[in-house]
Amino acid sequence: MTRIHTDQAPFVGDVEELGLLDRCDRCGAQAKVRVTLASTLELLFCGNHYHKHAEAIRPDVVAIRDERDWAVEERPQAKEGAS
Ligand SMILES: [Zn+2]
């Protein structure tokens, strides 16, 4: 039972946009980075947690949507990183 995925290897930017309802998987803050892993698992991170985990997940990442720039502008007082 072999499944062949022909739609593998999306590139940076080829990831669904982040919305206000997308929350960091770690702390629940507004997500600013959406990461798709090789397993097709999707992870959402706030800026802080993306920073923390970027190194660890990098080998498995196939696509990233990084919206930290505008998100930081929109949420200047975001409380993040309280873990
Ligand atoms: Zn977070």
Report pTM.
Answer: 0.66
Distance CA 16, CA 12 (A): 11
Distance (Å) from CA 46 to ligand 1 centroid: 4
Q: How far is the CA of 16 from the centre of ligand 1 (A)?
A: 19
Distance 12 CA to ligand 1 centre (A): 21
pLDDT level of residue 10 (50, 70, 90 thresholds): very low
- Spatial CB neighbours of 62, under 8 Å, sequence gap ≥ 6: 8, 9, 10, 36, 37, 38
Which of 13-17, 51-55, 73-77 shows the lowest per-residue confidence on average (mean pLDDT)?
A: 73-77
pLDDT at 7 over 90: no
Residue range 22-53, pLDDT digits in tens: 999 999 999 999 999 999 899 999 999 999 99
